[in-house]
């Protein structure tokens, strides 16, 4: 008699525990996946908006005052930050003006690789 009860109760309890655990873990896993997708989308948007700004005729001073630069700055190498934040002397050549863009584009490529966006 006792064996029969155990044969019925144990599988029922195990099924109940499995269902409870599954119903708690599945949403948590789904939330983790969605959080990662959202973070990757925001990162991709940041990189794309920075590249769009660099295709315009923007100078260092204007670029460093943008929200894009403020968000990207913590991820940039110090050398690139210094190139962007360096004051433009009067009479600076067009090549020198665009040097910060080239350094920034190179660092953007590095960040994309680190963030696994490419």
Residue range 44-98, pLDDT digits in tens: 999 999 999 999 888 888 898 999 999 999 999 999 999 888 877 666 676 777 7
Containing structural domain, residue 39: 26-114
Q: Would you say residue 6 lies in a domain?
A: no
Q: Are 63 and 85 in contact (CB under 8 A)?
A: no
Q: Would you say residue 51 lies in a domain?
A: yes
Helix (H, G, I), strand (E, B) or coil at 113: helix
**Max Cα-Cα span within the chain:** 99
pTM value is 0.74
The pLDDT of residue 4: 73
The number of distinct structural domains making up the chain is 1
* Rg, C-alpha atoms of the chain: 27
């Amino acid at each position: 008699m006792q064996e029969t009860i155990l044969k019925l109760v144990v599988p029922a309890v195990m099924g109940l525990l499995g269902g409870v655990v599954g119903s708690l873990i599945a949403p948590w896993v789904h939330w983790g996946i969605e959080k990662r997708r959202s973070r990757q989308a925001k990162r991709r948007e940041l990189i794309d908006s920075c590249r769009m700004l660099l295709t315009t005729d923007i100078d260092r001073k204007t670029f460093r005052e943008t929200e894009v630069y403020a968000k990207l700055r913590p991820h940039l190498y110090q050398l690139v930050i210094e190139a962007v934040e360096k004051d433009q002397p009067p009479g600076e050549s067009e090549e020198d003006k665009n040097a910060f863009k080239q350094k920034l584009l190179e660092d953007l490529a590095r960040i994309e690789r680190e963030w696994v966006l490419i």
